[in-house]
Structure 1
Amino acid sequence: MSSHLSPAVARAAHVRLSGVHLSFGGRPVLTGVDLVAAAGDRVAVVGENGRGKTTLLRVLAGDLPADRGDVHRAGSVGVADQQIPLGATDTVGALIDLELAAVRDALARLADAADALAAGRPGADDAYAAALADAEALDAWDADRRVEVSLAALNAVADRTRPLGTLSVGQRHRVRLACLLGAGHPVLLLDEPTNHLDATGLDHLTERLRAHPGVVVLVSHDRALLADVATSVLDLDPSSDGRPRVYGGGYAGYVEGRRAERARWEALHADQVAERQRLADDLSAARNRLRDNWRPDKGHGKHTRATRAPALVRAVHRRQEELAAHVVAVPPPPTRFAMPELPKHAGATLLRADGVTVAGRLARPVGLVLDSGDRLVVTGPNGAGKSTLLAVLAGGLEPATGTVTRARSARIGWLGQESDPPGPRTAVETYDARRARSGLPAPGLGELGLLDRYDLHRPVAELSVGARRRLDLALVLAERPHVLLLDEPTNHLSAALVDELTAALGSTPAAVVIATHDRQLLRDTGSWPRLAL
């Protein structure tokens, strides 16, 4: 699909951040963010939950002032955030008009200028030329048609009289996204735009973003979209110097660059810790020499001890000063995900399903057999019964027809899409209780690399959605299952953790079943057997 922006407008589009800092309630959210994006750049913003991705978009849009630093924009800005700006009684047409306000204004000014020109008013020629240039820059006459095309491609409601309150959350967001794709803004700021899109909608969004000649800044956990669209990546996760990083070369360049940055960080930290240990050892040795030399060897007099003592005291002081002056300036890097060793259960079928159905939820009879080390990906559209099948296999739901047979000694680990209601315990207390209940040796929660130090000791109810999802995964692994049943395991997880988890699932001796819509996960598990529902 060709661009609808004029070449001049597209070339002029840019955004620039320089040294942007922002805190909420004394807690730093954005720390020294630098970013330059010009026409044709599509910048993906990545990072864990709570790192300030949505906040950064608000700063770029001009909705939130930075505490310090410079923010510059050129070109009108279209924003797709998580909030719909109209109420339940407003209509689809009102939302379209709001998102096309710049287009409507340009056409109105052109009509006024045409009337002034026809009336022969002074200066009307220049006013008409300027208004015409603005309308042409946005290709304003074709904007409504472009919106209609995107409404159809995104499977969004096109009836402009429909009240927004009668639409689902997903339908409202699809209408808004269609408006933004058709409005002609040189700068697009998109926050999780793939939410609520099916395969056709994802293809349309990808095509439109790749064809956009202006600037796109995109926050998304969808690794497939990032791989298909991004020309560079801004990573807000912690780094060795505490500042965000920008990686060129698209998503693949980010993955490789982040890996190299992480290796450098770990090496620098290890070198500084080793140097501090060397200085501490030198100080300990100097103190030992000072103590031992107050007891001279046989045959030596007191004058020998008295002569050597001041030099030894000076050596101890010098080493104390060296140790005090040495600072481990590079913070410890965040731990990587460390998959615990799951057990192999050879010589027996772990799980077997024959002719399983569930009334209203899993219509087609399903059969499967799982042995240790087996892999399976369950696919299908929403409502096909993927989650239902995993619940039946785990024993959380009884089938209407068919049977499920589990090996008596086989442990089944099931990660559902929803978290259990949180209790009063902290994350580490919850994990330790699960580990104790299983009675099996398992690594501590901190050793898994799933939660940072701060979240380990927070009440579960206070954790972010992403941190809760990480804890849910840890609780499943704590029981060291022979079979892992994972329902949309990439939901709410960062791209980096998903990559680490995917690699670990490919090598574990346990049997693994994944139900997912995640396009990148489907690509990464392309060699696994498929069960299409």
Structure 2
Amino acid sequence: MLVARDLEVRAGARLLLENASFQIAAGDKIGLVGRNGAGKTTLTRILAGQGTPAAGTVSPGGEVGYLPQDPRTGDLDVLARDRVLSARDLDRVLRRLRAAEEQMGSADDAERDRAMARYARAEAELQAGGGYAAEAEAARIASNLALPDRVLDQPLRTLSGGQRRRIELARILFSGAETLLLDEPTNHLDADSIAWLRGFLQSYPGGLIVISHDTGLLDAVVTKVFHLDANRSALDVYSMNWKRYLAQRETDEKRRRRERVNAERKADQLRTQAAKMGAKATKAVAAQNMARRADKLLAGIEGERVADKVAKIRFPEPAPSGRTPLTGHDLSKTYGSLEVFTGVDLAIDRGSKVVILGLNGAGKTTMLRILAGMEDPDTGEVVPGHGLRLGYYAQEHETLDTARSVLDNMISASPHLNDTEVRKILGSFLFTGDDVDKPAGVLSGGEKTRLALAMLVVSGANVLLLDEPTNNLDPASRTEVLEAIRTYSGAVVLVTHDEGAVDALQPDRVLLLPDGDEDLWSATYSDLVALA
């Protein structure tokens, strides 16, 4: 059981949460909700032991498995299978077992005897950790997350960002931790994997907190909802499922509004009466008492919750360009012995809309990185056309300098704007006050998305390369992004699992990877988007 007592959570000088106490017991399935930037990711990092609260304590009471929004896998030369098995330290045991097995073939009797002893010790340790059945369990979890054996046998550095994130999710699920903290676990999952994950989490015997914008997952899994209210720095606990929470929260909002209106009316009456009585010296004390009663009345009633703000995202008119601002010839990419794609040709015409489709690991992100100049192809070349101005949105936010502040990142993207203009644009993306001085590295996934999009907005790009631009966004912000994509008149090359993003783009063409086939877009390709 994880127990939090009197937590105070801050981001710099900004108070996110005050005096919050709760527990996560075995069988609890908790959805942590609140607008982007409310502090959900900061809170889960503290619960996972990767951050420190401003006040209060967290007592884990057992192992905690934590999936952050942007997981870092450490040594990229490690095999994907070993990374998953490391959740129970079985990777180390299996390596010792295999090494001892090889040494048992030694012609030296003494060496062979020592190897047999090492093998026996390693095998006993393996059995204590679940034996070969545990290895099969890890492979089964990975397979359900669209990670077959051929992927598990590759080093992490050869995998796409989406595959590496799914490896981390498989590792956390395999850990068997008493408490799971999952921050946007459905990112980069196809429809079948999401359906499997719902069933896995429903039957998970431990406690669980999940942050997700996938309302289907929340509806299927959660039995309790924690609403982190950014306006009140409070955690509202609803011991009910998702649908009942939505109805109850609306009821609570209406009640608070009624209470506020009644309290303000009574306070106004008291203050009016106090003002009349205060004019007479003999009634001055009574008038002061009435004024205090009015203040006390209002102090006891919660203020009406300020409507959550939404970033105003609009891409500007693109800079002028030639007819074909971006071309790729004979592009190929291989990682070790793994051929990702080969001989791909494409031409991005002015104002064209292209969606890249392919199964996970087909090279969609790699293709965007090559087009963006972030990675070199093994063969072929990318040729910029006349007037090309490129804007790249990376799904893992590699375009952000995490050591620099929000403000400094924006200034680097818009050297033609002065400080006041930059701050005004940041304000429209909900970065105000001290928020602009925060290092980009401490931002939540949703905040990083907003910052990266803000940097695109000021770039004046005429070709946008967008890799999963709606990940980590709350529904209202996602709507804004989709509208920005819909109305942008420049060229767009889009990689996404979000069918709504493709609908907004209204693509002209589709590029299918890894084969590199190009075709006119038609509705028959729509079913491939969620599978991609």
User: TM-score scaled to structure 1, two decimals?
Assistant: 0.55
Where do 1:49-64 residues align within 5 Å? 50-56=41-47
Q: Which amino acid aligns with 2:506?
A: P
Matched, 1:384 2:363: yes
Matched, 1:79 2:56: no
Q: Which residue of 2 aligns with 1:338?
A: 311
> In structure 2, what is the Cα distance between the partners aligned to 1:31 and 1:433?
39
Matched, 1:21 2:6: yes
- 8 Å Cα contact 2:65/2:177 also seen in 1: no
Change (3 A) 1:282 1:471: farther
Where do 1:237-256 residues align within 5 Å? 238=230, 240=232, 242-246=234-238, 248-250=240-242, 256=246
> In structure 1, what is the Cα distance between the partners aligned to 2:142 and 2:47?
28
Change (3 A) 1:528 1:266: farther
Q: Which amino acid aligns with 2:20?
A: G
Matched, 1:522 2:507: no
Where do 1:105-254 residues align within 5 Å? 143-154=134-145, 155=147, 189-192=180-183, 194=185, 199=190, 202=193, 205-206=196-197, 209=200, 212=203, 214-215=205-206, 217-221=208-212, 223=214, 226=217, 230-232=221-223, 233-236=225-228, 238=230, 240=232, 242-246=234-238, 248-250=240-242
Task: Tell me the secondary structure at the aligned position of residue 235 of structure 2.
Answer: coil
- Counterpart of 2:393 (choices 415, 423, 426) is 415
Q: Following TM superposition, by how much is the alpha carbon of 1:210 offset from its aligned partner in structure 2, in angstroms?
A: 5.4
> In structure 1, what is the Cα distance between the partners aligned to 2:199 and 2:187?
17
- 8 Å Cα contact 2:66/2:182 also seen in 1: yes
Change (3 A) 1:192 1:316: closer
Matched, 1:400 2:372: no
- 8 Å Cα contact 2:181/2:209 also seen in 1: yes
Q: Following TM superposition, by how much is the alpha carbon of 1:217 offset from its aligned partner in structure 2, in angstroms?
A: 1.4
Task: Tell me the secondary structure at the aligned position of residue 499 of structure 1.
Answer: helix
- 8 Å Cα contact 1:413/1:483 also seen in 2: yes
> In structure 1, what is the Cα distance between the partners aligned to 2:167 and 2:313?
44
Change (3 A) 1:199 1:70: closer
| Rg comparison, structure with higher value | 1
> In structure 1, what is the Cα distance between the partners aligned to 2:403 and 2:59?
44
Q: Which residue of 2 aligns with 1:300?
A: none
Where do 1:496-515 residues align within 5 Å? 496=475, 498-502=477-481, 504-505=483-484, 508=487, 510=489, 513=492, 515=494
Task: Tell me the secondary structure at the aligned position of residue 243 of structure 1.
Answer: strand
Change (3 A) 1:72 1:313: same
Change (3 A) 1:481 1:144: closer
Change (3 A) 1:344 1:20: same
> In structure 1, what is the Cα distance between the partners aligned to 2:275 and 2:290?
8
Q: Following TM superposition, by how much is the alpha carbon of 1:242 offset from its aligned partner in structure 2, in angstroms?
A: 1.0
What do you get for the CA RMSD once the two structures are aligned?
Answer: 6.5
- 8 Å Cα contact 2:462/2:490 also seen in 1: yes
Change (3 A) 1:143 1:218: same
Q: Which residue of 2 aligns with 1:115?
A: none
> In structure 2, what is the Cα distance between the partners aligned to 1:176 and 1:468?
20
Change (3 A) 1:473 1:322: farther
> In structure 2, what is the Cα distance between the partners aligned to 1:204 and 1:472?
30
Change (3 A) 1:443 1:516: same
> In structure 1, what is the Cα distance between the partners aligned to 2:361 and 2:283?
76
Task: Tell me the secondary structure at the aligned position of residue 336 of structure 1.
Answer: coil
Change (3 A) 1:483 1:36: same
Q: Which amino acid aligns with 2:393?
A: L
> In structure 2, what is the Cα distance between the partners aligned to 1:266 and 1:442?
38
Matched, 1:444 2:431: no
Change (3 A) 1:403 1:246: same
- Counterpart of 2:456 (choices 476, 489, 499) is 476
> In structure 2, what is the Cα distance between the partners aligned to 1:427 and 1:28?
21
> In structure 1, what is the Cα distance between the partners aligned to 2:151 and 2:466?
39
> In structure 1, what is the Cα distance between the partners aligned to 2:466 and 2:500?
17
Q: Which amino acid aligns with 1:149?
A: R
Q: Which amino acid aligns with 1:234?
A: F
Where do 1:311-330 residues align within 5 Å? 326-327=298-299, 329-330=302-303
> In structure 2, what is the Cα distance between the partners aligned to 1:507 and 1:170?
25
Task: Tell me the secondary structure at the aligned position of residue 365 of structure 1.
Answer: strand
Matched, 1:32 2:32: no
Q: Following TM superposition, by how much is the alpha carbon of 1:189 offset from its aligned partner in structure 2, in angstroms?
A: 1.8
Q: Which residue of 2 aligns with 1:486?
A: 466
Q: Following TM superposition, by how much is the alpha carbon of 1:92 offset from its aligned partner in structure 2, in angstroms?
A: 6.7
Q: Following TM superposition, by how much is the alpha carbon of 1:437 offset from its aligned partner in structure 2, in angstroms?
A: 1.9
Q: Which amino acid aligns with 1:450?
A: L
Q: Which amino acid aligns with 1:226?
A: L
Q: Which amino acid aligns with 1:337?
A: V
> In structure 1, what is the Cα distance between the partners aligned to 2:475 and 2:316?
26
Q: Following TM superposition, by how much is the alpha carbon of 1:238 offset from its aligned partner in structure 2, in angstroms?
A: 2.8
Q: Following TM superposition, by how much is the alpha carbon of 1:83 offset from its aligned partner in structure 2, in angstroms?
A: 8.8
> In structure 2, what is the Cα distance between the partners aligned to 1:513 and 1:91?
33
Ranges in structure 2 where 5+ consecutive residues have no aligned partner: 94-128, 334-340, 513-532
- 8 Å Cα contact 2:31/2:211 also seen in 1: yes
Q: Which amino acid aligns with 2:431?
A: L
User: TM-score scaled to structure 2, two decimals?
Assistant: 0.55
> In structure 2, what is the Cα distance between the partners aligned to 1:500 and 1:258?
24
Task: Tell me the secondary structure at the aligned position of residue 486 of structure 1.
Answer: strand
- 8 Å Cα contact 1:152/1:158 also seen in 2: no
> In structure 1, what is the Cα distance between the partners aligned to 2:78 and 2:463?
49
> In structure 2, what is the Cα distance between the partners aligned to 1:487 and 1:97?
30
> In structure 2, what is the Cα distance between the partners aligned to 1:152 and 1:217?
22
Ranges in structure 1 where 5+ consecutive residues have no aligned partner: 1-14, 105-137, 291-307
Q: Following TM superposition, by how much is the alpha carbon of 1:487 offset from its aligned partner in structure 2, in angstroms?
A: 3.2
- 8 Å Cα contact 1:344/1:510 also seen in 2: yes
- Counterpart of 1:366 (choices 346, 349, 355) is 346
Q: Following TM superposition, by how much is the alpha carbon of 1:91 offset from its aligned partner in structure 2, in angstroms?
A: 12
> In structure 2, what is the Cα distance between the partners aligned to 1:422 and 1:96?
30
| Percentage identity across paired residues of the two chains | 14
1:449-478 CA-partner distances (Å, limit 9, x unpaired): 533644134465765665444333223334
